[in-house]
Amino acid sequence: MSDVIVRKDELKSLVINKLTEANVSEEHAAVVADVLVHADLRGVHSHGVLRTEHYVKRMNEGGMNPNPKFKVEDRGKTAALFDGDNGMGHVITKKAMDKAIGLAKENGIGMVGIVNSSHCGALSYFAEQAAKEEVVSMVMTHTDSAVVPFGGSEPYFGTNPIAYGFPAKTHKPIVLDMATSNVALGKVLHARETGKSIPDNWGVDANGNPVTDPNLVKNLLPIGGPKGYGLALTVDVLSGILTGSAFGTNIATMYGDYKNYRRLGHMILTVDPGLFIEKEQFLNNVDQMIDELHELEPASGFSSVMVPGEPEQVKEEDRLNSGIPVPKSIYEYLIS
């Protein structure tokens, strides 16, 4: 299936138009479009504009609030709890990260939970948001059951992603954004959309057998077996149980259950590096680490050693100049 090459600003405008047609405000639509296009720029198409149609369908059927009224409660000097009123998760998470950054700058550390939210897009966006303010961050969220726990035959946890961001002095920040499953569900969906096969360690069919046809994937596998299972559990406790949100198999499904709010939880942790050492020393040391990693001899088949997030940053620079490839079917939806 052929791709259409679209410039960043045009793609954002197309997404904004679709969301405002679904009664989302211009302000909120612009935030969501920024998060989605940011993912596509970095080559993370599983969390890019592919998701627009799903969001619109969920709002049209009552499973997402296009006009939420957010609430925030301070919990002491270093913490807060946001209520997203079941609106678009991207917007409330961006606002919550702003709060967490402020808490870290004022008090050295911040912890902000979010309840009554929905899918918030690629977490790397929010980790970068903090890094631009020279704040260390960790962001996590849970999803509905799709991953078989180590030793189990039925799914319990979601792909439960986690991201972190470390600012640097002259280099771009180190940003890791990863699912605790072998792969994010969105990558399976993207493979279905583009007609591509997948590695046999991504997911299993209804009988628990590994498959390479994305259309046969019933459940996903945890990354690193028991290690990914343990990380998924940790994310669900912090994003779900600690915030008072649903958890495990109690979360409404993203695909199929369009009429009910998902009531997702997210958790954000932020630290001002100056809490422990001089901020300039921290930033310079991160630069030094990046330089030392770059100087290592690469393995056969690799041109260099890169830090987490760097391949995506390189792709982003290229696509800002050359444009973003969008599957034709998705582009046709956006212009319809």
Query: Which DSSP helix (H) or strand (E) runs through 72?
Result: strand 71-74
Question: Angle CA(145)–CA(146)–CA(148) in degrees, nearest 5?
Answer: 100
Query: Which DSSP helix (H) or strand (E) runs through 174?
Result: strand 174-178
| Count of alpha carbons within 13 angstroms of residue 270, beta-carbon side | 33
248: left (phi over 0), alpha (psi -120 to 50) or beta: left
DSSP letters for 148-171: PPTT-SS--B----EEEEE--SSS
Closest to 163 measured CA to CA, from 290, 38, 29: 38
Q: Which residues are catalytic?
A: 119
| 266 alpha-carbon distance from chain centroid | 11
Q: What is the per-residue pLDDT across 270-322, written as a single tens digit (0 to 9) for each?
A: 999 999 999 999 999 999 999 999 999 999 999 999 999 999 999 999 999 99
pLDDT at 1: 58
pLDDT at 4: 96
| Count of alpha carbons within 13 angstroms of residue 37, beta-carbon side | 24
- β partners of residue 176: 164
pLDDT at 313: 97
pLDDT at 295: 98
Q: Are 88 and 136 in contact (CB under 8 A)?
A: no
| Count of alpha carbons within 13 angstroms of residue 164, beta-carbon side | 6
pTM score: 0.93
pLDDT at 207: 82
Which residues in the chain come in under a pLDDT of 50? none
